[in-house]
Structure 1
Amino acid sequence: MNPLNVGIIGCGNISGIYLQNIPAYEGLTLRACADMRPEAAQAQASRYGIEAMTVDELLARDDIDLVVNLTIPSAHFGVSLAALSAGKHVFSEKPLAVDFEQGRRLVDEAEAGGVLLGCAPDTFLGAGGRLARRLVDDGSVGRILSGTAFLMSHGMEHWHPDPEFFFKPGGGPILDMAPYYLGALVNLIGPVKRVFAMSSIGFPERVVTAESPRKGHRIPVETPTHVMALLEFASGAQVTFCMSWDVWKHGHPAIELYGTEGSLRVPDPNFFGGHVEVTERGGDWRAVDSSDMPLGAPNWRSPNWAPDAPSRANYRALGLADLASAVLNGTPHRSTGRLALHVLEVMHSILEGAVTGQPRAITTSLERPAVLDDAAAAKLWKGQPKAATAA
């Protein structure tokens, strides 16, 4: 079968890595991009040798099979719904929507229309996530009893050229960063059953320090920037969960899981590779490198990083290739709309529970995503030069 023709809507900061990676995957042909700012679409189209058009033009094109929604979170629902209504497969950046009921409508719309809906994060399909899943599934640490998950930094205003939306409703560290951590945890442990939470705003105002036209702009903060929760999983595991943009420095690992036979450290779920660390009961930590596995080699670095910072594995668009393989070859679809809907409900339940002080039961559930083995992962990736730099 012919590859799926891909059109991107949203040509902002995240679009560069998608535009760079899509041609490196099997089953995908990059055709066009669109943005509400015509100059942004034209700039990316010229850089990557594709066609720039308006959003309406892209949605009307019969030769676009898959729409990638890279708009800001508040626009995710409207753009995805329009694409699904036009009969397109859709892959959205996280979150699926800023409202849970809107997310549910997108899932229902896709299923009713017979098209696939996917959503970031797809990072758990990278080498680091697959290695951690293998160690859990083969019983290396036994049954998972508990764990911790930490994302702590001082926000986005020091690097993002226009970070205001991060600090408004629909933003914050929960809706922006928690999907990576929740996706990884659901992949390893299974669905969440119940949450308890509290939250705060540590800094009522943020000042943009990134070199951009917005430098010096003051942003009133309107959404929690420090959120702590206890997640109870259907399996019985309990995980302490902290997402914060109010921390200057910390020493916590991203994800640490504690089982009946040992412990496991999972690499940063914002990327696709890294070292997994494992102990056997009370033994020393043993590091297992995923960089030699498919979709694990460092291939990217941010222009915002220090010169001595190491490159990272950034294979964004893996979820698109997984979706395309499901359409073209009948393979399992893993970073699905239903997974994203479960994550969205968990996030909203955390935020709502923090306001009410009451535990919140999670109504959605699902099986863990099907395993993506190394051979299948290798078939998805055609390759590109290593150590590319973000656009």
Structure 2
Amino acid sequence: MDTLNVGIVGCGNISGIYLQNIPAYRGLSLRACADMRPEVAQAQASRHGIEAMSVDQLLARDDIDLVVNLTIPSAHFGVSLAALSAGKHVFSEKPLAVDFEQGRKLVDEAEARGLLLGCAPDTFLGAGGRLARNLIDDGSVGHILSGTAFLMSHGMEHWHPDPEFFFKPGGGPIFDMAPYYLSTLVNLIGPVKRVFAMSSIGFPERIVTTESSPRKGERITVETPTNVMALLEFASGAQVTLCMSWDVWKHGHPAIELYGTEGSLRVPDPNFFGGHVEVTDRGSDWRALDSSAMPLGAPNWRSPNWAPDVPARANYRALGLADLANAALRGTPHRSSGRLGLHVLEVMHSILEGAATGQQKAITTMLERPAVLADDDAAELWKGLPQTASAA
């Protein structure tokens, strides 16, 4: 076998980029999709030339090797467990599960069955993340002492067609966006050892304003923190301030800055795969290093929700699937793994629990940093999109 046959469960907003990108990776063959709304699955299947079926039908198919779980967070555990029980490898959108013990059960189940379990985000494997990792590993900024990580916006209700789940338990900026930042930080400086945190709800109610949404004008009661500030202590000794908020109209903070004994490093937006890495040596001027010429770094995508002057970004989602397939087929390292997803899940729970109780929280899951993905290996995974594929 030189490819894994892929079935997607969940045909909502995020599925489009996966359906577009999966055929561009070696080791993956896109076969089918399923959704609890048959008409939505059929629409995506027709668009991408694959079969639409029910979830039970997809899991029962002997010719599906890898299930990609793109359901809402509250359904991640049930769908992933069912897929593992059916003997399939699984790659889940973040978070691995809403409940930490459920996440642990998924990791244990996969390992007991000899299956691979992967979890988004895989963005740290893109060119920007690899370039930042190389600079840290070659000692360009010395030993990392501290840093900052900021995600600040005003939420999802102004663009997402059905944004309610973002403001309920299992949502919020921690469960929705912190995985990008935490996975990147773990890739760069290793696992988190303990956390301290505070949180609040800035706006107790949100109004859906998305023009195309059938729910436009509806009010959503916010039931999870939308402003969270945490101090992360890493096993390496580094201390990083993490700020995740959907209560901010505008800000000027870089996504991630790391401060080392020999210099400082700015890491590009971890929600994407490319961007500029900036580095300074002992207080010298910032030097911008563009990752766009590296494999999986060229801007290739625009959101339809962006203003016309917003530049295209590198969006190579499904890289983690290709990495998983390569690990399953050839025994290469598995990087965006379930164990990484479980560590990130525990950190997120600990942040929210620590904020609620006012107590520091020790992290029990430990792991090594993911293996480096060399440029040549990244290039080998990507064969490119068909000429007819849309970049939108």
Task: Provide TM-score, normalisation by structure 1.
Answer: 0.99
TM superposition shift of 1:191? 0.2
Does the aligned pair in 2 maintain the 1:128–1:276 contact within 8 Å? yes
Match of 2:238 in 1: 237
- The Cα offsets for residues 344-388 of structure 1, whole Å up to 9 and x where unpaired, read as 000000000000000000000000000000000000000125994
SS of 1:320's equivalent in the other structure is helix
Match of 1:258 in 2: 259
Match of 1:110 in 2: 110
Match of 1:373 in 2: 374
C-alpha separation in 2, matches of 1:254 and 1:239: 12
TM superposition shift of 1:2? 2.8
C-alpha separation in 1, matches of 2:220 and 2:139: 48
C-alpha separation in 2, matches of 1:190 and 1:388: 37
C-alpha separation in 2, matches of 1:19 and 1:205: 34
- The Cα offsets for residues 177-221 of structure 1, whole Å up to 9 and x where unpaired, read as 000000000000000000000000000000011121011110000
Does the aligned pair in 2 maintain the 1:26–1:380 contact within 8 Å? yes
Does the aligned pair in 1 maintain the 2:20–2:389 contact within 8 Å? no
**Structure 1's 195 and 353: CA in aligned 2 closer, same or farther, altered over 3 A?**
same
C-alpha separation in 1, matches of 2:381 and 2:170: 33
Match of 2:11 in 1: 11
The aligned runs of 1:376-391 (5 Å cut-off) are: 376-384=377-385, 388-390=390-392
**Structure 1's 13 and 98: CA in aligned 2 closer, same or farther, altered over 3 A?**
same
TM superposition shift of 1:389? 3.6
The aligned runs of 1:272-351 (5 Å cut-off) are: 272-351=273-352
Structure 2 unaligned residues grouped into runs of 5+: none
Amino acid at match of 2:105: R
TM superposition shift of 1:307? 1.1
TM superposition shift of 1:312? 0.3
Amino acid at match of 1:19: L
The aligned runs of 1:160-179 (5 Å cut-off) are: 160-179=160-179
C-alpha separation in 1, matches of 2:210 and 2:130: 35
More displaced stretch, 209-218 vs 219-228? 209-218
Match of 1:135 in 2: 135
C-alpha separation in 2, matches of 1:320 and 1:63: 17
Match of 2:353 in 1: 352
C-alpha separation in 2, matches of 1:10 and 1:387: 21
- The Cα offsets for residues 25-53 of structure 1, whole Å up to 9 and x where unpaired, read as 00000000000000000000000000000
- The Cα offsets for residues 311-370 of structure 1, whole Å up to 9 and x where unpaired, read as 000000000000000011111000000000000000000000000000000000000000
- The Cα offsets for residues 238-293 of structure 1, whole Å up to 9 and x where unpaired, read as 00000000000000000000000000000000000000000001100000000000
RMSD of aligned C-alpha atoms?
0.9
Does the aligned pair in 1 maintain the 2:255–2:270 contact within 8 Å? yes
Does the aligned pair in 2 maintain the 1:338–1:366 contact within 8 Å? yes
More displaced stretch, 376-385 vs 116-125? 376-385
Amino acid at match of 1:190: G
C-alpha separation in 2, matches of 1:205 and 1:180: 26
Match of 1:33 in 2: 33
Match of 1:207 in 2: 207
Structure 1 unaligned residues grouped into runs of 5+: none
C-alpha separation in 1, matches of 2:390 and 2:365: 39
- The Cα offsets for residues 297-322 of structure 1, whole Å up to 9 and x where unpaired, read as 00100000011110000000000000
C-alpha separation in 2, matches of 1:313 and 1:386: 18
Match of 1:98 in 2: 98
Count of residue pairs brought into register by the alignment: 390
C-alpha separation in 2, matches of 1:169 and 1:322: 31
Does the aligned pair in 2 maintain the 1:31–1:51 contact within 8 Å? yes
